[in-house]
Structure 1
């Protein structure tokens, strides 16, 4: 549907989208609402997904998942899936085009072109509105059915339009072309949406969409996280991002002799993925994982979240008053003497600022504990300053917080979809080829020595699991 706001297209689009959304068999809806036209939608939980213009990453996820669904439906073995209709509703393509083309999400338009061109035969329908940018888009030629609303338009805005018959200058009066009018060109008066109730003016069905995509929470506290964790079924966690491992059993203290099993326990740190499910830090057994980010990106907060959300893990970290280099040297001596708990996980903040002795001590500890979690600032010189960065690069596992450029994930072998306006505590969990957006939990800082479950030094007893 092409036209300016003065043509009456907005209320007509709301009406058309509502009729499509409540048609039988009722489709599953995925909405990219660039102009807030459908922000009053009721029963939002029954939508497959909805993204506004301020949620570019979420919008890109929606298009990417629809494109993957379309590819799956091409397989003859999945022919039954074409019987489940999906609808992508896009409002204000002009706004989307300007936002997507000026950043790292330029691929979204190409993916949308594939959906427009091939989706109809696979049970995926696209309903889109816009003005000049829509007519000049790369996928416009693939749209089989079009409605032009000339009222209030100028010759400049109609430059790419085909020659249309003269119509009265009335709101909602349009010219329709395409397959749904047997290839003819007809004049039509479009229905307006009612003003008395919220879109789509009828109840949406309760059927389960093939996939859901939900926005990450603006903030996430420890209590909020545990409530989410308790409300998620085990099978959802098993298939969720970075959580395909057994849940910890709080009733049983871990056995120090079962290091291999302990290594499978998720190290919770926030929520992420398509449905904002609990996510865990990927940490190879006896390996190293990195939390990368610039200043004020929330690296220390993620370490604190790991500590608070996983109280059964024997964490080892220095008191803030200790010299960190000498602390890790003392821990290395304990490991060499066989005193250090082999199931310990070391938390190393600002590892790239350690002195030479601290770096060598950490390198000596690698492989002697369950794992090492370090924070550092990304950059090409990190591998030269920090020996363990080579282990991180080899495993390709870690986290990037508030990335300022797509290259901030290079150490982990990932190019990130970011426009450079990252938020502290929010970023990406990277595990091989899997890149998962996530929001870290905001908790109290790491406790100081002397508090329950706090750091311990070489002069103190070896760590034990908190009860």
Structure 2
């Protein structure tokens, strides 16, 4: 066992300036011997400094010449050291474990005076002690400077070590955590070897005091489960960016097929750097609450249907998301996130960051791993935090708890299954957490935006609907190859061996990259409603460009498509011709303002009062689809070209292409 000797000169001054230091010194004296730690305490004024605790734990004492018998008694239990002559420097009394003090002569370190230009030499102690010093040599040593001896010994040890003559003593105390750690992929932090197990990612360096060493801090989403980060917005943003990028980097470095797909709900912008990755199946901000709620719903279904794949849901700034969900029509999305965390499958891990809203979240008990970043946090914001170990609050410095910390405390450095929730509570309550320094992410990274989410294709890829879509963009999208269609053509609508019913293309929607079609039958009306200025005329123009005037059914003659704009203002002859076209098997796409009284002027034969399918453009209120018996999930202020397709109670939002007329001179209403 390596022994550690702690020397404290003028320890009385230390205790006077830092009273708490005495308790620590006595703790070392009490338990340190069994660990190979020994104390050497020195002071010029022992009276009052040597208390009962020191006498009980320090078994050996040396007293050189002192000024009074009281000082001598405090050290060795007798006043004999007061009588030591000034002419005998180095004379002392040694008392061991209560035995009578023994008088001895200590050695002094001196060199001859510099004026004599004597070259110093180094001799073995054993050889020197076996001989006798002459009077001249003794006189020279008494008149020399001990500092020169110390420098000579230091330089001699350095010379011997550089020549390989003496191995360096092993480090007894671990080095301090670095102020910041640069992560080089997942295999190195500050030059250390990573040695990651399968599925682990490197987050930084952790101090393990029971082993007096620094070890890599790793997180394995598959075995360690969810992870939560607490702290100021800047600290949690840096940590979330680190976690996401390390997961994506691990995918790029992996040679196996077991890669993870990331789905990012970015409340503070920290995850944008990862949005262009080919493994990022979604990147959504609070400005797009509808696709965010849609993603949470779809992710729960996808995790169950793909048990062989691994998924990670990243949510930054949970407080902002919770506030946005609660004040929107998608308030049930908050509960859906809680269900994912509490009852999700083992192939899904959630990494989430936040402040007070997260620490009080009802699902927090189901998150086993927690990282507390104290830099910049006020005492009010940390009132609900557990008792943390003492450390200097620098950027990236954190206390860790959970399975990622339990493996360090138990001496295991590989992944292990998630610890029970009770063990996490005991760990936080007892203050047995470790301190870690998270790595620094190099933001000078690049990714190909055209490849964003390409690895999630065929599993789940969700994109917010475009704020604007031109006809050329939609046509280019259609030329790229076959695309999934959504919402309008159920698999059971066509009998076995027969073609599906004909449909009309209305735009791009669904998961953000799907062609939206509506199945229609000959002799029916497709109502298109909206407030004045919602773009009904532009939509009819786009429908005419995309679908033409004939509806191919696959059986018999194609049906005619008739487009009628502003039907409530059309003269009776126009309405009569439209009614006759319906009777002959045509499909009528009729646009009219709603809500409003104009609906009563349209022919009863059109069946609009019991319509089960139709399109609402740019709705402003949930009640704008009352004609179809549906309440809409909208907060108003929908962008131009946004619409929702309603089909027997189901809703599919889409973006229709704006024609050139709209972009240049606006479509007439």
Do they fold alike, i.e. is TM over 0.5?
Answer: yes
Contact 2:549 2:561 (C-alpha < 8 Å) held by counterparts: no
Whole-angstrom CA distance in 1 between matches of 2:614 and 2:453: 40
Picking from 386, 392, 400, the partner of 1:162 is: 386
Residue 622 (structure 2) aligned to one of 406, 411, 432? 406
1:215 pairs with 2:468: no
**Partner residue of 2:280?**
47
More strand by share: 2
Q: Judging changes above 3 Å, is the alpha-carbon distance between structure 1 residues 165 and 196 closer, same or farther for their aligned structure 2 residues?
A: closer
CA distance in 2, matches of 1:68, 1:400: 28
Distance across 1 between alignment mates of 2:529 and 2:609: 12
Q: Contact between 1:283 and 1:398, CA under 8 Å: does it hold in 2?
A: no
Deviation at 1:272, TM superposition (A): 1.4
Which of 3, 15, 20 is the aligned partner of 2:247?
A: 20
Q: Which residue of 1 aligns with 2:297?
A: 64
Are 2:368 and 1:144 aligned?
yes
1:343 to 559, 563, 587: 559
User: 1:130-209 maps to which residues of 2 (within 5 A)?
Assistant: 130-182=354-406, 183=424, 184-185=427-428, 186-198=433-445, 207-209=455-457
Q: TM-score, normalised by structure 2?
A: 0.53
After superposing on structure 2, the runs of 4+ consecutive aligned residues of structure 1 that deviate more than 6 Å are 203-206
The Cα shift of 1:166 comes to: 3.5
Once the two structures are superposed, residues 214-258 of structure 1 have per-residue CA deviations (whole angstroms, 9 ceiling, x without a partner) of 23233322222221112132xx34x5443679xxxxxxxxxxxxx
Higher relative contact order, chain-length normalized (CA < 8 Å, sep 6+): 1
Structure 1's 126 and 390: CA in aligned 2 closer, same or farther, altered over 3 A?
A: farther
TM-score, normalised to structure 1, is 0.74
Give 1:390 shift.
Answer: 7.3
Instruction: Give the equivalent residue in structure 1 for 2:114.
Output: none
Q: Judge which range, 342-351 or 31-40, deviates more.
A: 342-351
2:585 match: secondary structure? coil
Q: Give the aligned partner of residue 109 of structure 1.
A: 334
In the superposition, relative to structure 1, how do residues 358 and 230 fare at CA in structure 2: closer, same or farther (>3 Å)?
Answer: same
**CA spacing shift, 1:374–1:133, aligned 2, 3 Å:** same
Aligned to 2:655: 439
Aligned length: 392
In structure 2, what is the equivalent of residue 10 of structure 1? 237
CA contact (8 A) 1:11 1:192 kept: no
CA distance in 1 between partners of 2:243 and 2:443 (Å): 17
Is 1:294 aligned with 2:531? Answer: yes
Unaligned runs of 5+ in 2: 1-228, 407-423, 492-497, 552-556, 663-669
Cα distance between partner residues in 1 of 2:387 and 2:606: 63
How many angstroms does 1:396 deviate by?
1.8
Say whether the 8 Å CA contact 1:393–1:413 is kept in structure 2: no
* SS of 2:507 mapped into structure 1: strand
Query: In structure 2, what is the Cα distance between the partners aligned to 1:389 and 1:406?
Result: 28
Q: 2: distance between equivalents of 1:205 and 1:298? A: 32
Q: Deviations over 1:333-383 (max 9, x none)?
A: xxxxxxxx9832222212234467766665565443321111122327565
Structure 2 counterpart of 1:242, from 481, 488, 496 = 488
Instruction: Give the drift of 1:188.
Output: 2.4
CA distance in 2, matches of 1:118, 1:262: 41
Classify the secondary structure of the residue corresponding to 2:307.
helix
Aligned CA distance change for structure 1 residues 42 and 139 (closer, same or farther; 3 Å): closer
- Give the stretch that moved more between structures: 301-310 or 143-152: 143-152
DSSP 3-state at the match of 1:267: strand
Distance verdict in 2 for CA 1:430–1:198, change over 3 Å: farther
Give the 3 Å change call, closer, same or farther, for CA 16–45 of structure 1 in structure 2: closer
CA gap 1:262/1:355 in 2 versus in 1, 3 angstroms: farther
Structure index of larger Rg: 2
Correspondence for 1:369: 585
Structure 2 CA distance for aligned equivalents of residues 204 and 426 of structure 1: 24
* 1:99 and 2:332 aligned: no
Q: For the Cα contact (< 8 Å) 1:84–1:123, is it kept in 2?
A: yes
Contact 1:342 1:369 in 2 (8 A): no
Q: Secondary structure at the match of 1:216?
A: coil
1:132-156 deviation per Cα after TM superposition (whole angstroms, max 9, x unaligned): 1222233333322222222222232
Alignment of 1:229-308 (within 5 A): 229-233=478-482, 236-237=483-484, 239-242=485-488, 264-308=501-545
User: Judging changes above 3 Å, is the alpha-carbon distance between structure 1 residues 58 and 42 closer, same or farther for their aligned structure 2 residues?
Assistant: closer
Match of 2:274, SS state, is: coil
